[in-house]
Amino acid sequence: MNHDAYGDDYIREILHGVKSIAMVGASPVNVRPSYFAFKYLAQRGYDMIPVNPGHVGKSLLGKPFVASLLDIGRPVDMIDIFRSSSHIMPVVDEALKLMPLPKVIWMQLGARDDAAAAKAEAAGLKVVMNRCPKIEYGRLSSEISWMGVNSRTISAKRAPMPTRGMQLSLNRMSVGGGETGASDRAAKNKSDSA
């Protein structure tokens, strides 16, 4: 697996295939990136489990914290690691003790451990490194364009705002901001002039 570039189909298959996500390093502090990612994924219907030994006894959006993956006590589809690269291998080692094994090890933005990835893949797990499932979900469902991110599409027509409870499909053809004839021509002209 080339961990420098993931195809949209690979990411989409993971996000469609998992139902429960244990977020290692989740924080109840509402200004932390892990809080935003946890909340976003929970609102999209994923069964989220916060894992952080420093917050046992607290809850995150009504979900009680557990100290470790082994304390979850039920099957988990994906382990989302919100820890620095130096802490990834111990998390992967713990994940490989779970029965049944999770389907996916996902390392957040800025986190990469090739040895841990190889170990997980050798056990049959899919691995994503240096990506955020919140961002990838938003990008593949086209929700991200509602958040002020440049979609590379010029239009005077504003995209419709999502309504409460509206679920967008990850199968939209408009991925990565959508490809348009104009963006294709601009990319070709740029490569021709280089």
| Residues 62 and 111 placed together within one structural domain of the fold | yes
- Chain segment 90-140, per-residue pLDDT in tens: 999 999 999 999 999 999 999 999 999 999 999 999 999 999 999 999 888
| Residues 132 and 156 placed together within one structural domain of the fold | no
Mean pLDDT of 18-42: 95
1 within some domain = no
| Residues 147 and 131 placed together within one structural domain of the fold | no
| Residues 43 and 108 placed together within one structural domain of the fold | yes
| Residues 105 and 130 placed together within one structural domain of the fold | yes
| Residues 13 and 35 placed together within one structural domain of the fold | yes
pLDDT of 185 strictly over 80: no
Residue 1: per-residue pLDDT: 86
Residue 191: per-residue pLDDT: 53
2 within some domain = no
- The whole-model pTM stands at 0.76
| Residues 46 and 101 placed together within one structural domain of the fold | yes
Pairing of strands 20-24, 78-81: parallel
Whether the link from the prior residue into 160 is cis, omega within 30° of 0, is: no
Half-sphere exposure of 175 (CA within 13 A, CB side): 13
| Residues 119 and 156 placed together within one structural domain of the fold | no
Mean pLDDT of 157-175: 51
101 within some domain = yes
Mean pLDDT of the chain: 84
> Distance between CA 90 and CA 96 in Å, rounded?
10
Q: Domain holding 110: CATH number?
A: 3.40.50.720
Q: Where are the alpha helices (DSSP H) in the chain?
A: 8-17, 33-43, 88-95, 114-122, 133-141, 181-193
Residue 181: per-residue pLDDT: 45
Evaluated on CA atoms 62, 68, 71, 73, the torsion sign reads positive
- The last residue of one of the domains, among 93, 120, 136, is 136
| Residues 25 and 67 placed together within one structural domain of the fold | yes
| Residues 43 and 132 placed together within one structural domain of the fold | yes
| Residues 120 and 160 placed together within one structural domain of the fold | no
pLDDT of 42 strictly over 50: yes
- The last residue of one of the domains, among 136, 161, 178, is 136
| Residues 128 and 156 placed together within one structural domain of the fold | no
189: confidence class by pLDDT, cuts 50, 70, 90: low
For 152, the domain range is 142-193
Give how many domains the chain has, as a whole number: 2
- The last residue of one of the domains, among 88, 117, 136, is 136
143: confidence class by pLDDT, cuts 50, 70, 90: confident
3 within some domain = no
